[in-house]
Amino acid sequence: MTLVLLIAAGVFLPLTVFARSASLEGRQSGTGITVNLDQKYQTIDGFGCSEAFQRAVQMSKLTEAQQQYTLDLLFSTTKGAGMSILRNGIGSSPDMSADHMVSIQPKSPGGPSSTPNYVWDGSDNKQLWVSQEAVKRGVKTIYANAWSAPGYMKTNGNDANGGTLCGVGGASCSSGDWKQAYADYLVQYIKYYQEANVTITHLGFVNEPDLTTSYASMRFSGSQAADFIKVLHPTLEKANLSSVGINCCDPEGWGSQASMLGQLGSVDSLISTITAHSYTSSPGSPLNTRHRVWQTEAADLNGQWQGAWYSSGGAGDGMTWANNIYTAIVNANASGYLYWIGAQTGVTNSKLIRIDGDNVTPSKRLWAFGQWSRFVRPGAVRVGVQGAPSGVRTAAFQNIDGSVAVQLINSGGSAANVQVKVSGGSGFTSSAATAYVTDNNHDISDLTVSLSDGAAAASVPGRAMITVLLKQEAAPPE
Protein backbone atom coordinates (compact mmCIF):
# COMPACT_ATOMS: atom_id res chain seq x y z
CA MET A 1 0.00 0.00 0.00
CA THR A 2 1.31 3.47 -0.83
CA LEU A 3 -0.57 6.46 0.51
CA VAL A 4 0.30 9.70 -1.19
CA LEU A 5 -0.55 13.27 -0.38
CA LEU A 6 -0.98 15.77 -3.13
CA ILE A 7 0.82 18.93 -2.12
CA ALA A 8 0.64 22.38 -3.65
CA ALA A 9 3.25 22.02 -6.37
CA GLY A 10 1.78 18.77 -7.57
CA VAL A 11 4.54 16.67 -5.99
CA PHE A 12 3.59 13.27 -4.64
CA LEU A 13 5.16 12.40 -1.35
CA PRO A 14 4.82 9.08 0.47
CA LEU A 15 3.01 9.50 3.77
CA THR A 16 5.61 7.40 5.57
CA VAL A 17 8.11 10.22 5.21
CA PHE A 18 5.85 12.51 7.26
CA ALA A 19 5.26 9.77 9.77
CA ARG A 20 8.94 9.13 10.29
CA SER A 21 10.51 12.59 10.34
CA ALA A 22 10.26 14.25 13.73
CA SER A 23 8.62 17.37 12.38
CA LEU A 24 8.71 19.59 9.36
CA GLU A 25 9.75 22.59 11.44
CA GLY A 26 12.98 20.79 12.32
CA ARG A 27 14.09 21.23 8.73
CA GLN A 28 17.74 22.17 8.38
CA SER A 29 19.46 24.09 5.68
CA GLY A 30 22.51 22.74 3.94
CA THR A 31 24.14 22.34 0.58
CA GLY A 32 22.03 20.06 -1.59
CA ILE A 33 23.80 16.89 -2.70
CA THR A 34 22.04 14.65 -5.20
CA VAL A 35 22.77 10.97 -5.73
CA ASN A 36 21.84 9.71 -9.19
CA LEU A 37 21.12 5.97 -9.15
CA ASP A 38 20.85 5.91 -12.94
CA GLN A 39 24.49 6.95 -13.38
CA LYS A 40 26.34 3.72 -12.79
CA TYR A 41 30.08 3.10 -12.52
CA GLN A 42 32.10 0.09 -11.34
CA THR A 43 30.95 -2.71 -9.06
CA ILE A 44 32.75 -2.89 -5.74
CA ASP A 45 34.33 -6.14 -4.51
CA GLY A 46 35.46 -4.75 -1.18
CA PHE A 47 38.18 -3.55 1.13
CA GLY A 48 40.77 -5.56 2.98
CA CYS A 49 44.21 -6.36 4.31
CA SER A 50 46.58 -9.26 4.89
CA GLU A 51 48.10 -11.26 7.73
CA ALA A 52 50.82 -12.78 5.55
CA PHE A 53 54.50 -13.22 6.54
CA GLN A 54 53.51 -14.72 9.90
CA ARG A 55 51.55 -11.67 11.05
CA ALA A 56 48.73 -14.19 11.66
CA VAL A 57 51.14 -16.09 13.94
CA GLN A 58 51.69 -12.87 15.93
CA MET A 59 47.93 -12.45 16.28
CA SER A 60 47.57 -16.05 17.44
CA LYS A 61 49.91 -15.35 20.38
CA LEU A 62 47.42 -12.93 21.95
CA THR A 63 45.11 -14.18 24.69
CA GLU A 64 41.85 -15.61 23.37
CA ALA A 65 39.88 -12.47 24.31
CA GLN A 66 42.36 -10.18 22.54
CA GLN A 67 42.42 -12.45 19.47
CA GLN A 68 38.65 -12.14 19.20
CA TYR A 69 38.84 -8.37 19.76
CA THR A 70 41.42 -8.03 16.96
CA LEU A 71 39.43 -10.20 14.55
CA ASP A 72 36.31 -8.15 15.33
CA LEU A 73 38.20 -4.90 14.73
CA LEU A 74 39.22 -6.15 11.29
CA PHE A 75 36.18 -8.04 10.06
CA SER A 76 33.06 -7.32 12.13
CA THR A 77 30.55 -5.04 10.41
CA THR A 78 29.19 -3.92 13.79
CA LYS A 79 32.27 -3.76 16.03
CA GLY A 80 35.06 -3.04 13.58
CA ALA A 81 36.03 -2.02 10.07
CA GLY A 82 33.99 -4.77 8.41
CA MET A 83 36.76 -5.65 5.96
CA SER A 84 35.40 -7.83 3.16
CA ILE A 85 38.59 -9.09 1.47
CA LEU A 86 41.40 -11.09 3.08
CA ARG A 87 44.67 -11.48 1.19
CA ASN A 88 46.70 -14.52 2.20
CA GLY A 89 50.28 -15.33 1.28
CA ILE A 90 50.89 -18.71 -0.38
CA GLY A 91 54.18 -19.87 1.12
CA SER A 92 57.28 -20.62 -0.92
CA SER A 93 59.91 -21.00 1.81
CA PRO A 94 61.46 -24.30 2.92
CA ASP A 95 60.98 -23.39 6.62
CA MET A 96 59.25 -21.04 9.05
CA SER A 97 62.34 -19.23 10.32
CA ALA A 98 61.98 -15.48 10.91
CA ASP A 99 58.80 -14.45 9.07
CA HIS A 100 59.10 -17.01 6.24
CA MET A 101 55.86 -18.43 4.85
CA VAL A 102 56.45 -22.15 4.68
CA SER A 103 55.63 -23.92 1.41
CA ILE A 104 53.19 -26.83 1.05
CA GLN A 105 56.05 -28.58 -0.75
CA PRO A 106 59.20 -27.53 1.11
CA LYS A 107 61.38 -30.12 -0.64
CA SER A 108 61.67 -30.71 -4.35
CA PRO A 109 59.88 -33.87 -5.46
CA GLY A 110 62.89 -34.45 -7.76
CA GLY A 111 61.74 -32.91 -11.01
CA PRO A 112 58.77 -31.22 -12.63
CA SER A 113 57.11 -34.51 -13.60
CA SER A 114 57.90 -36.41 -10.37
CA THR A 115 55.01 -37.32 -8.07
CA PRO A 116 54.49 -34.31 -5.81
CA ASN A 117 55.21 -34.59 -2.07
CA TYR A 118 52.88 -31.98 -0.67
CA VAL A 119 52.78 -31.41 3.09
CA TRP A 120 49.84 -29.76 4.81
CA ASP A 121 50.33 -28.62 8.39
CA GLY A 122 46.69 -27.54 8.84
CA SER A 123 47.84 -24.04 9.80
CA ASP A 124 49.40 -22.30 6.82
CA ASN A 125 51.31 -19.91 9.02
CA LYS A 126 48.04 -19.42 11.04
CA GLN A 127 46.39 -17.89 7.99
CA LEU A 128 43.82 -20.71 7.83
CA TRP A 129 42.63 -19.77 11.31
CA VAL A 130 42.39 -16.06 10.41
CA SER A 131 40.51 -17.05 7.23
CA GLN A 132 38.00 -19.16 9.16
CA GLU A 133 37.47 -16.34 11.68
CA ALA A 134 37.04 -13.85 8.84
CA VAL A 135 34.49 -16.12 7.15
CA LYS A 136 32.57 -16.40 10.46
CA ARG A 137 32.30 -12.61 10.40
CA GLY A 138 30.96 -12.54 6.85
CA VAL A 139 34.03 -12.35 4.63
CA LYS A 140 33.42 -14.11 1.30
CA THR A 141 36.37 -12.93 -0.76
CA ILE A 142 39.68 -14.64 -0.03
CA TYR A 143 42.59 -13.75 -2.24
CA ALA A 144 45.44 -16.28 -2.06
CA ASN A 145 48.60 -14.73 -3.46
CA ALA A 146 52.01 -16.37 -3.90
CA TRP A 147 55.05 -14.15 -3.55
CA SER A 148 57.17 -16.73 -5.34
CA ALA A 149 57.29 -20.34 -6.47
CA PRO A 150 59.49 -22.61 -4.31
CA GLY A 151 63.20 -22.14 -5.08
CA TYR A 152 63.64 -25.49 -6.87
CA MET A 153 61.13 -24.35 -9.52
CA LYS A 154 63.12 -21.20 -10.32
CA THR A 155 66.07 -20.05 -12.35
CA ASN A 156 67.98 -18.92 -9.24
CA GLY A 157 67.20 -22.00 -7.12
CA ASN A 158 65.91 -19.80 -4.27
CA ASP A 159 62.44 -18.53 -3.37
CA ALA A 160 64.04 -15.19 -2.43
CA ASN A 161 66.22 -12.82 -4.45
CA GLY A 162 64.20 -12.71 -7.66
CA GLY A 163 64.76 -15.30 -10.37
CA THR A 164 61.83 -16.54 -12.42
CA LEU A 165 59.76 -19.65 -13.01
CA CYS A 166 61.57 -22.26 -15.11
CA GLY A 167 59.71 -22.71 -18.39
CA VAL A 168 58.30 -19.26 -19.05
CA GLY A 169 59.74 -17.37 -22.01
CA GLY A 170 63.46 -16.71 -21.65
CA ALA A 171 63.79 -18.91 -18.54
CA SER A 172 65.07 -22.37 -19.34
CA CYS A 173 66.52 -24.55 -16.59
CA SER A 174 68.45 -27.83 -16.59
CA SER A 175 65.79 -29.19 -14.19
CA GLY A 176 63.10 -28.70 -16.85
CA ASP A 177 59.85 -26.77 -17.30
CA TRP A 178 58.03 -26.25 -13.99
CA LYS A 179 54.98 -24.33 -15.24
CA GLN A 180 52.58 -27.28 -14.89
CA ALA A 181 54.08 -28.34 -11.55
CA TYR A 182 53.63 -24.79 -10.20
CA ALA A 183 50.01 -24.65 -11.44
CA ASP A 184 49.31 -28.05 -9.78
CA TYR A 185 50.92 -26.77 -6.60
CA LEU A 186 48.68 -23.68 -6.48
CA VAL A 187 45.61 -25.82 -7.13
CA GLN A 188 46.62 -28.15 -4.28
CA TYR A 189 46.86 -25.15 -1.93
CA ILE A 190 43.29 -24.15 -2.84
CA LYS A 191 42.12 -27.73 -2.20
CA TYR A 192 43.61 -27.76 1.30
CA TYR A 193 41.56 -24.66 2.11
CA GLN A 194 38.50 -26.22 0.49
CA GLU A 195 38.86 -29.24 2.80
CA ALA A 196 38.86 -26.82 5.74
CA ASN A 197 35.67 -25.21 4.41
CA VAL A 198 37.35 -22.00 3.29
CA THR A 199 36.65 -21.04 -0.31
CA ILE A 200 39.48 -19.21 -2.01
CA THR A 201 37.86 -16.95 -4.58
CA HIS A 202 40.91 -15.33 -6.19
CA LEU A 203 44.38 -16.64 -6.96
CA GLY A 204 47.56 -14.69 -7.65
CA PHE A 205 50.77 -16.48 -8.63
CA VAL A 206 53.22 -13.63 -8.16
CA ASN A 207 53.78 -10.55 -5.99
CA GLU A 208 55.75 -7.51 -7.12
CA PRO A 209 57.20 -9.20 -10.22
CA ASP A 210 59.12 -5.97 -10.89
CA LEU A 211 61.17 -6.23 -7.67
CA THR A 212 64.10 -8.43 -6.66
CA THR A 213 64.46 -8.50 -2.90
CA SER A 214 65.92 -10.52 -0.03
CA TYR A 215 62.56 -12.09 0.87
CA ALA A 216 60.31 -14.27 -1.31
CA SER A 217 60.29 -12.65 -4.74
CA MET A 218 60.00 -13.74 -8.36
CA ARG A 219 60.40 -11.75 -11.56
CA PHE A 220 57.82 -11.87 -14.33
CA SER A 221 57.33 -9.65 -17.35
CA GLY A 222 53.79 -9.32 -18.67
CA SER A 223 54.49 -11.88 -21.40
CA GLN A 224 56.06 -14.33 -18.92
CA ALA A 225 52.95 -13.95 -16.76
CA ALA A 226 50.86 -14.70 -19.85
CA ASP A 227 52.93 -17.86 -20.49
CA PHE A 228 52.02 -19.12 -17.03
CA ILE A 229 48.36 -18.06 -17.11
CA LYS A 230 47.96 -20.24 -20.25
CA VAL A 231 48.86 -23.24 -18.07
CA LEU A 232 47.21 -22.16 -14.83
CA HIS A 233 43.75 -21.50 -16.26
CA PRO A 234 43.15 -24.98 -17.75
CA THR A 235 44.64 -26.54 -14.59
CA LEU A 236 42.02 -24.76 -12.47
CA GLU A 237 39.31 -25.87 -14.90
CA LYS A 238 40.40 -29.52 -14.74
CA ALA A 239 40.22 -29.38 -10.95
CA ASN A 240 36.67 -28.00 -11.06
CA LEU A 241 38.02 -24.73 -9.77
CA SER A 242 37.08 -22.51 -12.69
CA SER A 243 35.17 -20.31 -10.23
CA VAL A 244 38.52 -19.24 -8.76
CA GLY A 245 39.52 -16.01 -10.51
CA ILE A 246 43.09 -15.43 -11.65
CA ASN A 247 44.47 -12.11 -10.43
CA CYS A 248 47.42 -10.44 -12.10
CA CYS A 249 50.02 -9.11 -11.37
CA ASP A 250 50.46 -7.15 -8.11
CA PRO A 251 53.45 -5.08 -9.27
CA GLU A 252 54.86 -2.35 -7.05
CA GLY A 253 52.83 0.42 -8.62
CA TRP A 254 49.80 1.36 -10.67
CA GLY A 255 52.03 2.56 -13.52
CA SER A 256 53.93 -0.76 -13.67
CA GLN A 257 50.65 -2.62 -14.08
CA ALA A 258 49.60 -0.20 -16.81
CA SER A 259 52.73 -1.13 -18.75
CA MET A 260 52.28 -4.90 -18.17
CA LEU A 261 48.71 -4.84 -19.55
CA GLY A 262 49.81 -4.77 -23.20
CA GLN A 263 51.66 -8.07 -22.85
CA LEU A 264 48.65 -9.72 -21.18
CA GLY A 265 46.43 -9.24 -24.23
CA SER A 266 46.69 -12.89 -25.36
CA VAL A 267 45.32 -14.13 -21.99
CA ASP A 268 42.84 -11.32 -21.35
CA SER A 269 39.88 -13.70 -21.40
CA LEU A 270 41.57 -15.93 -18.76
CA ILE A 271 42.08 -13.15 -16.20
CA SER A 272 39.55 -12.25 -13.50
CA THR A 273 40.96 -9.17 -11.80
CA ILE A 274 43.79 -6.77 -12.51
CA THR A 275 45.79 -6.00 -9.36
CA ALA A 276 48.45 -3.44 -8.52
CA HIS A 277 50.13 -1.91 -5.48
CA SER A 278 50.60 1.75 -4.59
CA TYR A 279 54.29 2.02 -3.74
CA THR A 280 56.05 3.25 -6.87
CA SER A 281 52.94 4.94 -8.23
CA SER A 282 49.51 5.15 -6.66
CA PRO A 283 46.14 4.84 -8.40
CA GLY A 284 45.30 8.19 -9.99
CA SER A 285 43.40 7.29 -13.14
CA PRO A 286 41.73 4.11 -14.50
CA LEU A 287 43.85 1.32 -15.95
CA ASN A 288 42.98 0.50 -19.54
CA THR A 289 41.14 -2.78 -18.98
CA ARG A 290 37.61 -4.15 -19.02
CA HIS A 291 38.36 -6.19 -15.88
CA ARG A 292 37.73 -5.15 -12.33
CA VAL A 293 40.82 -3.61 -10.78
CA TRP A 294 42.00 -3.89 -7.19
CA GLN A 295 44.63 -1.88 -5.41
CA THR A 296 46.00 -4.84 -3.42
CA GLU A 297 48.74 -3.34 -1.27
CA ALA A 298 49.34 0.09 0.14
CA ALA A 299 50.82 1.23 3.43
CA ASP A 300 52.74 3.95 5.18
CA LEU A 301 56.04 2.09 5.24
CA ASN A 302 58.20 4.81 6.70
CA GLY A 303 56.33 6.34 9.58
CA GLN A 304 56.65 5.49 13.25
CA TRP A 305 53.43 4.09 14.68
CA GLN A 306 50.78 6.73 15.08
CA GLY A 307 47.05 6.24 15.41
CA ALA A 308 45.71 9.77 14.82
CA TRP A 309 42.97 10.73 12.40
CA TYR A 310 44.41 14.12 11.59
CA SER A 311 47.74 15.27 12.95
CA SER A 312 49.34 17.23 10.14
CA GLY A 313 47.89 15.51 7.08
CA GLY A 314 50.84 13.11 7.18
CA ALA A 315 51.25 9.76 5.41
CA GLY A 316 50.04 7.80 8.45
CA ASP A 317 46.93 9.87 9.29
CA GLY A 318 43.54 8.18 9.13
CA MET A 319 42.12 10.98 7.01
CA THR A 320 44.97 10.61 4.51
CA TRP A 321 43.86 6.97 4.03
CA ALA A 322 40.20 7.91 3.77
CA ASN A 323 41.31 10.15 0.90
CA ASN A 324 43.64 7.55 -0.65
CA ILE A 325 40.71 5.14 -0.85
CA TYR A 326 38.52 7.86 -2.33
CA THR A 327 41.06 8.60 -5.09
CA ALA A 328 41.44 4.92 -5.99
CA ILE A 329 37.69 4.26 -6.09
CA VAL A 330 36.42 7.50 -7.62
CA ASN A 331 39.31 8.69 -9.79
CA ALA A 332 40.96 5.37 -10.68
CA ASN A 333 37.91 3.08 -11.00
CA ALA A 334 39.16 0.56 -8.41
CA SER A 335 36.75 -2.16 -7.27
CA GLY A 336 38.86 -3.21 -4.30
CA TYR A 337 41.29 -1.49 -1.96
CA LEU A 338 43.59 -3.29 0.45
CA TYR A 339 46.01 -2.07 3.07
CA TRP A 340 49.14 -4.16 3.59
CA ILE A 341 48.86 -5.61 7.12
CA GLY A 342 45.82 -5.71 9.38
CA ALA A 343 47.35 -6.41 12.81
CA GLN A 344 51.03 -6.79 13.68
CA THR A 345 53.64 -6.15 16.40
CA GLY A 346 56.33 -3.47 16.12
CA VAL A 347 56.56 0.26 15.67
CA THR A 348 55.80 0.97 12.02
CA ASN A 349 52.63 2.25 10.35
CA SER A 350 52.55 -0.61 7.84
CA LYS A 351 49.64 -2.09 9.82
CA LEU A 352 46.20 -0.87 10.83
CA ILE A 353 46.26 -2.33 14.35
CA ARG A 354 49.24 -2.50 16.68
CA ILE A 355 49.90 -5.55 18.82
CA ASP A 356 52.20 -4.87 21.78
CA GLY A 357 52.39 -7.73 24.26
CA ASP A 358 48.72 -8.43 24.89
CA ASN A 359 47.69 -4.84 24.09
CA VAL A 360 45.78 -4.25 20.87
CA THR A 361 45.50 -0.68 19.57
CA PRO A 362 43.56 0.23 16.44
CA SER A 363 44.75 3.24 14.45
CA LYS A 364 42.41 5.71 12.80
CA ARG A 365 43.56 4.20 9.50
CA LEU A 366 41.46 1.19 10.48
CA TRP A 367 38.39 3.37 11.04
CA ALA A 368 39.02 5.17 7.74
CA PHE A 369 38.74 1.78 6.03
CA GLY A 370 35.63 1.05 8.09
CA GLN A 371 33.87 4.23 6.92
CA TRP A 372 33.99 2.63 3.47
CA SER A 373 33.95 -1.10 4.10
CA ARG A 374 31.13 -1.31 6.63
CA PHE A 375 28.68 0.48 4.36
CA VAL A 376 29.89 -0.19 0.81
CA ARG A 377 29.38 -3.94 0.73
CA PRO A 378 30.56 -6.42 -1.92
CA GLY A 379 28.43 -6.10 -5.06
CA ALA A 380 27.63 -2.43 -4.46
CA VAL A 381 27.61 -0.29 -7.58
CA ARG A 382 29.17 3.16 -7.50
CA VAL A 383 26.66 5.73 -8.67
CA GLY A 384 26.72 9.40 -9.59
CA VAL A 385 26.65 12.16 -6.98
CA GLN A 386 26.91 15.88 -7.33
CA GLY A 387 26.59 19.16 -5.50
CA ALA A 388 29.09 18.71 -2.66
CA PRO A 389 30.21 21.95 -1.02
CA SER A 390 33.79 23.02 -1.72
CA GLY A 391 36.34 21.13 0.36
CA VAL A 392 34.05 18.10 0.66
CA ARG A 393 34.66 14.99 -1.46
CA THR A 394 31.64 12.79 -2.07
CA ALA A 395 31.10 9.27 -3.40
CA ALA A 396 27.89 7.24 -3.53
CA PHE A 397 27.02 3.57 -3.91
CA GLN A 398 23.93 1.41 -4.11
CA ASN A 399 24.24 -1.87 -2.23
CA ILE A 400 22.71 -5.17 -3.32
CA ASP A 401 20.04 -4.78 -0.59
CA GLY A 402 19.00 -1.49 -2.21
CA SER A 403 20.46 0.77 0.48
CA VAL A 404 22.43 3.81 -0.64
CA ALA A 405 25.72 4.74 1.04
CA VAL A 406 27.07 8.26 0.65
CA GLN A 407 30.63 8.96 1.78
CA LEU A 408 31.67 12.54 2.55
CA ILE A 409 35.19 13.67 3.49
CA ASN A 410 35.52 17.24 4.74
CA SER A 411 39.11 18.44 4.47
CA GLY A 412 38.22 21.93 5.66
CA GLY A 413 38.54 23.03 9.27
CA SER A 414 34.88 23.90 9.82
CA ALA A 415 31.66 21.95 9.63
CA ALA A 416 29.69 21.71 6.37
CA ASN A 417 25.92 21.23 6.44
CA VAL A 418 24.57 19.01 3.69
CA GLN A 419 21.22 17.67 2.55
CA VAL A 420 21.47 14.40 0.65
CA LYS A 421 18.74 13.41 -1.81
CA VAL A 422 18.50 10.37 -4.03
CA SER A 423 17.20 10.54 -7.57
CA GLY A 424 16.72 7.90 -10.26
CA GLY A 425 16.48 4.16 -9.80
CA SER A 426 12.93 2.92 -9.75
CA GLY A 427 11.74 5.84 -7.64
CA PHE A 428 13.98 5.41 -4.58
CA THR A 429 12.49 7.29 -1.64
CA SER A 430 14.61 7.53 1.49
CA SER A 431 12.51 6.51 4.45
CA ALA A 432 15.27 5.81 6.94
CA ALA A 433 18.59 7.55 7.36
CA THR A 434 21.52 6.86 9.65
CA ALA A 435 24.92 8.50 9.65
CA TYR A 436 28.33 7.65 11.09
CA VAL A 437 31.36 9.81 11.73
CA THR A 438 35.09 9.29 12.18
CA ASP A 439 37.38 12.13 13.24
CA ASN A 440 39.92 12.75 16.00
CA ASN A 441 37.26 12.01 18.62
CA HIS A 442 35.01 9.41 16.99
CA ASP A 443 35.34 5.93 15.50
CA ILE A 444 32.36 5.28 13.20
CA SER A 445 30.12 6.86 15.87
CA ASP A 446 26.44 7.64 15.34
CA LEU A 447 25.96 11.11 13.88
CA THR A 448 22.70 13.07 14.05
CA VAL A 449 20.81 13.01 10.78
CA SER A 450 17.27 14.13 10.10
CA LEU A 451 15.11 13.09 7.22
CA SER A 452 12.62 15.48 5.73
CA ASP A 453 10.96 15.42 2.29
CA GLY A 454 13.28 12.57 1.34
CA ALA A 455 16.38 14.65 2.07
CA ALA A 456 18.81 13.60 4.79
CA ALA A 457 20.30 16.58 6.57
CA ALA A 458 23.57 16.20 8.45
CA SER A 459 26.56 18.25 9.46
CA VAL A 460 29.98 16.99 8.37
CA PRO A 461 32.41 18.14 11.07
CA GLY A 462 35.64 19.80 9.96
CA ARG A 463 38.38 17.27 9.12
CA ALA A 464 36.04 14.32 9.35
CA MET A 465 34.60 11.58 7.21
CA ILE A 466 30.96 10.67 7.47
CA THR A 467 28.83 8.02 5.82
CA VAL A 468 25.10 8.59 5.33
CA LEU A 469 23.19 5.35 4.86
CA LEU A 470 19.77 5.69 3.27
CA LYS A 471 17.23 2.92 3.22
CA GLN A 472 13.91 2.57 1.59
CA GLU A 473 11.70 0.78 4.08
CA ALA A 474 8.72 -1.27 3.12
CA ALA A 475 5.43 0.55 3.77
CA PRO A 476 4.19 -0.29 7.27
CA PRO A 477 0.90 -2.21 7.54
CA GLU A 478 -2.26 -0.09 7.95
- The residues binding ligand NAG (CB under 6 A) are 42, 196-197, 239-240, 286, 290, 292, 333, 335
Written as one letter, the residue type at 22 is A
Cβ of residue 296: shortest distance to ligand NAG, in angstroms? 15
Cβ of residue 284: shortest distance to ligand NAG, in angstroms? 13
Cβ of residue 228: shortest distance to ligand NAG, in angstroms? 21
Distance CA 435, CA 457 (A): 10
Cβ of residue 387: shortest distance to ligand NAG, in angstroms? 22
For residue 49, give the DSSP letter: E
Distance CA 274, CA 73 (A): 28
- Comparison of 329 and 437: residue with beta carbon closer to ligand NAG: 329
Segments of 264-390 assigned E as strands: 273-277, 292-298, 336-345, 351-356, 359-362, 381-386
- Comparison of 204 and 336: residue with beta carbon closer to ligand NAG: 336
- Comparison of 233 and 292: residue with beta carbon closer to ligand NAG: 292
- Comparison of 107 and 238: residue with beta carbon closer to ligand NAG: 238
- Comparison of 17 and 196: residue with beta carbon closer to ligand NAG: 196
Query: Greatest CA span in the chain, whole angstroms?
Result: 85
Written as one letter, the residue type at 412 is G
- Comparison of 121 and 446: residue with beta carbon closer to ligand NAG: 121
Check if the beta carbon of residue 298 is closer than 8 Å to that of residue 338: yes
Residues 6+ apart with CB under 8 A from 340: 49, 50, 297, 298, 299, 301, 350, 351
DSSP 94-131: SS-STT--B-SS-S--SSTTSPP-----SSTTTHHHHH
* Cis ω for the linkage preceding 173 (within 30 of 0): no
Cβ of residue 56: shortest distance to ligand NAG, in angstroms? 17
Give the CA count within 13 Å in the CB-facing half-sphere of 419: 11
Check if the beta carbon of residue 123 is closer than 8 Å to that of residue 198: no
Cβ of residue 69: shortest distance to ligand NAG, in angstroms? 23
Cβ of residue 183: shortest distance to ligand NAG, in angstroms? 14
- Comparison of 96 and 239: residue with beta carbon closer to ligand NAG: 239
**Cβ-proximal residue to ligand NAG, closest one:** 286
Residues 6+ apart with CB under 8 A from 96: 54, 102, 125
Cβ of residue 333: shortest distance to ligand NAG, in angstroms? 4
* Class of residue 214 by CB neighbours under 10 A (exposed 0-12, middle 13-18, buried 19+): exposed
Cβ of residue 249: shortest distance to ligand NAG, in angstroms? 17
Count of other CB atoms within 10 angstroms of residue 186: 26
- Comparison of 272 and 348: residue with beta carbon closer to ligand NAG: 272
- Comparison of 48 and 318: residue with beta carbon closer to ligand NAG: 48
